[in-house]
Chains A and B, each alone.
Chain A
Amino acid sequence: MRLSDLLGAEVVDEHGRAVGKVHDVRLEQAGPEQADLGPGLRVEGLIVGRPALGARFGFGRGVQGPWLLRLVFGSLGHDGHDVAWHRIRSIRDRRIRIAGTADDLPTPQPSGD
């Protein structure tokens, strides 16, 4: 499987209602923290919903100015959800079904490292 198979996939809840599209995949180190990636990387969960435009530009992670651009692009408001991997019930043809509904999903926190 490839990462691109997950990105853009449609996520639906247990009732078949649309939750959103996958716009990012959160990875975690599979073992204790190390300088390199000895233990490897694995998928922790999916980030579903509309991404914040400013995030890509770095406005949430250190980019301060110029204020004009921050005004235009910097809305870090994110109407989306974190879907932990264990919630997934099935993946088929770029359609991912999860347990529970959209309401009991947390909003994404920045991965912050």
Chain B
Amino acid sequence: MRKLLEIALGILTAIGGFVDIGDLVASTETGARFGLGLAWVLLVGVVGIVIYAEMAGRVASVSGRAVFDLVRERLGAGAGLLNLAASFFITLLTLAAEIGGVALSLQLATSVNYLLFVPVVGFLVWLVCWRVRFELMDNAVGLLGLALIVVAVAVWRAHPDWGAMLHSATHPVVPTTESHAAYWYFAIALLGSAMTPYEVFFFSSGAVEQRWTRSDLLVNRLNVYIGFPLGGLLALALMVAAALVLEPLGIDPSHLSQAALPTSLVLGRLGLALALLGFFACTFGASLETALSCGYSIAQYFGWQWGKFVKPAQAPRFQLAVLVSIALGVGLVLTTLDPVQITEYAIVLSAAALPLTYLPLLIVANDPAYLGGKVNSRLSNAIASLFLVVLVLASVATIPLMIASKAGGG
């Protein structure tokens, strides 16, 4: 019975923790501008993150080492450092975006300017990273994030034409108001929002934090195979909501409030409140994850003791890295750069940087020296390799598409 509860908790946390500011922005924006024409990308992204997250969890559970820990061993100090620089920069950008997202959610709830919330949010994020136990932190924000289910409820209550929706999702068409370059640019952005590099660092480090071993492999698989796709459904719900409400009105969502609009139209005040709670929980949870991931990647490259499973004084350089990263993230948001803009750049750059994270992970997941008999099966290797090829292509196409579509504006 207890094991069942544990599994249920893990799955629920995975569902509620899936969506972050990147998904909020990308799903809403693509829904508003392209209807359901990019829904297939979300499907692809979820399959990808499921495969690679399972690998990351397995590597950590069996070898006791987190993914970035092994990047330097496999790539060497030089290539590993370049990888670290790119991954750290993008994760930091994402951290800034998430902190901005938390502040924006609070602004929507209180009408107080988001900039005033930023330092407070930064401090709270640091405090939780410093003192709150890992499982408690992970479960609390994950469960609160389930409030986003209200968006799916709103979609259901809006009685859309399911047949027509299914048709437009399976027969994607670039709207006349958009260019093909913009379509593919947003495809990459959406992919980057679903398959974030930091998720791999956080998931594998988290498995070590929670002392997972071989016997937890089943729980890991259940969390990932059930939790992540259901979480992806929440992102899909956001896209559908935007397609139903924002697209016909021609609203181009550049404010977070517009992501909550469909829900408040259908379900009124209560719906809006729950949606905002969901936004807050998701972005706060993701702020914690990205802040810790910044610390994990630096500490793991240099081989320093890391983790919340030891007292801060036992892992001082890791804690300092987390602290400095949060400070930098806060600083970036305080420059008054639009957080939604920061988010868009973060997810697009994430997509471009995915091969850097996934290639070493794929190699390590095949190494019997780390995994013994638990190396990848031929099937997972085949699918994972296919994904890697797609990711490399997407990575190469990112900058040209960014230029051709004027960063999605054109």
Direct A–B contact in the complex, CB atoms closer than 8 angstroms: yes
Given A56-B74, A56-B76, also A64-B366 (CB < 8 A)? yes
Determine if A65 and B74 form an interchain contact, defined as CB atoms under 8 angstroms apart.
no
Contact B385 A63, beta carbon cutoff 8 Å = no
Contacts of A63 in B (CB 8 A): 363, 366-368
Q: Given A56-B74, A56-B76, A58-B74, A65–B368 Cβ distance below 8 Å?
A: no
Is A35 among interface residues, defined by CB-CB distance under 8 A?
A: no
Cα-based distance from A56 to B79 in the complex (angstroms)? 12
Interface string of B384-408 (1 = CB under 8 A from A): 1100110000000000000000000
Q: Which residues of A are interface residues toward B (Cβ below 8 A)?
A: 56-58, 61-69
Find out whether the CB atom of B368 lies under 8 angstroms from the CB atom of A68. Answer: no
- Report whether A57 and B74 are in contact in the complex, using a CB–CB cutoff of 8 Å: yes
Contact across chains for B385 and A68 when beta carbons are under 8 A apart: yes
A109 CB → nearest B CB, Å: 20
List 10 A-B pairs, minimum CB-CB distance, nearest first.
A66-B381, A68-B385, A66-B385, A65-B381, A62-B368, A63-B367, A65-B366, A57-B363, A58-B367, A63-B366
B:359-390 near A, CB below 8 Å: 359, 362-363, 366-369, 375-376, 378, 381-382, 384-385, 388-389
Find chain A residues with CB under 8 A from B382 CB.
66
For A68, the chain B residues whose CB sits under 8 A away are 385, 388-389
B124 at the interface (CB under 8 A from A): no
**Given A66-B381, A66-B384, A66-B385, are A58 and B375 also a contact pair (CB < 8 Å)?**
no
**By the criterion CB–CB under 8 Å, are A69 and B385 in contact?**
yes
Kindly state the separation between the CA atoms of A62 and B385 in the bound complex, as whole angstroms.
Answer: 19
Closest beta carbon of chain B to A4's beta carbon, Å: 10
| Sample (9) of A-B pairs whose CB atoms are under 8 Å apart | A57-B74, A58-B367, A62-B369, A63-B367, A66-B385, A67-B385, A68-B388, A68-B389, A69-B359
Give chain B nearest CB distance to A104 CB in angstroms: 31
How many Å from the CB of B81 to the closest CB on chain A? Answer: 15
Cα A69 to Cα B367 in complex, Å, equals: 13
User: DSSP majority for the B interface?
Assistant: helix
Interface centre among B74, B366, B384, B389, by most chain A C-beta atoms within 10 angstroms, is B366
**Which partner residue on chain B sits nearest A64 by CB separation?**
B366
Which DSSP category, helix, strand, loop or mixed, fits chain A's interface?
loop
Q: When each residue 173-198 of chain B gets 1 if its CB lies under 8 Å from chain A and 0 otherwise, what string results?
A: 00000000000000000000000000
Question: A62 — which chain B residues lie within 8 A by C-beta?
Answer: 367-369
The answer to whether A69 and B368 have CB atoms under 8 Å apart is no
List B contacts of A64 (CB < 8 A): 366, 375
Q: How far is the CB of A74 from chain B (nearest CB, A)?
A: 11
Q: How far is the CA of A12 from the CA of B75 in the complex (A)?
A: 28
The interface residues of chain A lying within 8 Å CB-to-CB of B367 are 58, 62-63
Minimum distance in angstroms from B156 CB to a CB of chain A: 41
A111 shortest CB reach to chain B, Å:
15
Q: Which residues of A are found within 8 Å of B375, using beta-carbon distances?
A: 64-65
Question: Considering the chains assembled together, what is the distance between the CA atoms of A78 and B216 in angstroms?
Answer: 41
For A70, the closest partner residue in chain B by CB is: B366
CB distance from B356 to the nearest CB of A (A): 15
Give the chain A neighbours of B388 by CB distance below 8 A.
68
Q: State whether B363 touches A69 (Cβ < 8 A).
A: yes
Are A69 and B76 in touch, CB under 8 angstroms?
no
Chain A residues, Cβ within 8 Å of B76: 56
Q: Say whether A58 contacts B376, CB under 8 Å.
A: no
- Report yes or no: B363 in contact with A58, Cβ–Cβ below 8 A: yes
B378 near A58: Cβ-Cβ < 8 Å: no
Cβ contacts under 8 Å, B75 to chain A: 56
Query: Which of A57, A58, A63, A65 has the most B CB atoms < 10 Å from its CB?
Result: A65
A56 to B376, CA, bound (A): 19
Residue of A nearest to B359 (CB): A69
* A69 and B384 alpha carbons, distance in the complex (Å): 11
C-alpha spacing A67/B362, complex, angstroms: 12
Residues of B within 8 A of A66 (CB): 362, 366, 376, 381-382, 384-385
C-alpha gap A98/B132 in the complex (Å): 60
Report the Cα distance A69→B366, complex, angstroms: 11
What distance in Å separates the Cβ of A92 from its nearest Cβ neighbour in chain B? 25
Q: Mark B52-76, 1 if CB is under 8 A from A, else 0.
A: 0000000000000000000000111
With a CB–CB cut-off of 8 A, which chain A residues contact B378?
65
For B363, B376, B378, B388, the residue with the greatest tally of chain A CB atoms inside 10 Å of its CB is B363
CB distance from B354 to the nearest CB of A (A): 16
Query: Whole-angstrom distance between the alpha carbons of A67 and B382 in the complex?
Result: 8
A61 to B76: give the CA distance in the assembly, Å. Answer: 17
Q: Is the CB of A69 within 8 A of B362?
A: yes
In the bound complex, residues from chain A placing their C-beta under 8 Å from that of B359 are 69
